[in-house]
Amino acid sequence: MSLNPAVAQMATYPFVRLGEARARVEARGVEVIDFGVGEPREETPAFIRRALCEAVEAEPVAPYPLAVGMPELREAIAGWVRRRFGARVDPATEVVPTYGSKEAIYGLTQVAARPGEALAVATPGYPVPARSAAVAGVEVASLRTDAAGGWLPDLDAVPWERLAILWIATPANPTGAVAPLGYLEEAAARCRDAGAILAVDEAYVELWLDGDPPASALQLADRRNVLSFHSLSKRSSMPGYRSGFVAGDPELVALLKRHRPNVGTAPQRFVQHASIAAWSDDEHVARTRARYAAKRDVLLPALQAAGLQLVGGPGSFFLWLAVPGGDDEAFATRWLERGVLVAPGSYLGPGGEGHVRVALVPTLEQCERAAALLRAG
């Protein structure tokens, strides 16, 4: 039997490893408060749930969803982009709904890169782009980031001569780094000069804990060669709905529209109706953001009292912390034995060593209990 060696040799996905570690500890009777996996556990707003249920009842025969998405959904997305960023996108030519953002991020390599070309990605970072490149036989150029550089990739370190895609995440997972608009503008211009794509993962763009709202690549005056990836999982506490979108350069969006019917990853129509409700409302997002800030305010002093140093940026719902002594896996293992699960930074790529990522996804009450556990030593 012939297998793709990249898949056969691929290490276990890091968050699967976290789940396995949690299960081993829970099997011994320890109650674990999970700050490891960045899965929102806030209640999906009731008006979104109602929209989904009403859509199911309205269509007793459910047709296959079109890969281009419902026009009403694309209009709602364009409306949100206009309200949030002051930018205009054409819902007919510059937007395509997706099955969350993960599948779209993974799939871009298959559409836009060839063996022998390079995909550049920040490390530590979200592992999906690099994994998709490995499976496709595309070179992965890991751009190591650090606190001194604001956890943003050095654009001079990009292999421009063979680049197919440059991935920038803002706010970034796990570091919380937020890219200024000027940085995105320079990255886009250099990608155009190189004949490459600037792909910007903005799944956390509605979540920030301090400072000004993060900017979007959709605010760029020239969006040629630019794609922006978004998701409702974090913004609207809808991880299980699997709904997001890609927007940007009309030529690239048209390419995605030609490709996506082959893979069948369009959101179900009832999910699209729920998504219309979500993108059309901003008040629930402000409330969600306030809840994450409240959790941070409860947990961060206890983390700092335990010797950790906050070194990440203000974006996302992650705290990126340097650990005393520098051994992130040993540190995370000790805490897990006490019932507090965090993600070792080394799980998230080179440059993550000596750090842990704390996802502010448990309830406020659980955050308070975890803070008490940390203070108790």
Task: Tell me the mean pLDDT in the region 104-111.
Answer: 95
Structure token digits, residue 140:
């992965």
Q: Does the structure show a pLDDT above 70 at 59?
A: yes
Calculate the CA dihedral of residues 140, 318, 290, 314 and round it to 10 degrees.
-70
pLDDT in tens, 280-291: 999 999 999 999
Is the pLDDT at 8 greater than 70? The verdict is no
What number does CATH give the domain 5-43+283-376?
Answer: 3.90.1150.10
Q: Residue length, the chain?
A: 377
- Domain ranges for the chain, please list them: 5-43+283-376, 46-279
Among residues 330, 333, 337, 329, which one has the least CA distance to residue 28?
A: 337
CB count within 10 Å of CB 133 equals 28
333: Cβ contacts below 8 Å, ≥ 6 apart: 21
Q: DSSP code of 189?
A: H
Say yes or no to pLDDT of 18 above 90.
no
Query: Rounded CA gap, 174 and 163, in Å?
Result: 24
Q: How confident is the model at residue 9 (pLDDT cuts 50, 70, 90)?
A: low
Q: How far apart are alpha carbons 303 and 366 in whole angstroms? A: 14
pTM exceeding 0.85:
yes
Mean pLDDT for the stretch of residues 166-186: 98
Residue 233 has pLDDT above 70, yes or no: yes
pLDDT of residue 264: 87
Residue 10 predicted with pLDDT over 70: no
Which is higher by pLDDT, 292 or 374?
A: 292
Question: pLDDT digit string (tens) for 296-342?
Answer: 999 999 999 999 999 999 999 999 999 999 999 999 999 999 999 99
> Does domain 46-279 sit in CATH 3.40.640.10?
yes
* Contact criterion met (CB below 8 Å) for 131 and 106: yes
* Confidence grade of residue 4 (pLDDT, cut at 50, 70, 90): confident
Cα–Cα distance between 46 and 220 in angstroms, integer?
A: 35
**Can you tell me the distance from the alpha carbon of 231 to that of 237, in angstroms, rounded to the nearest whole number?**
10
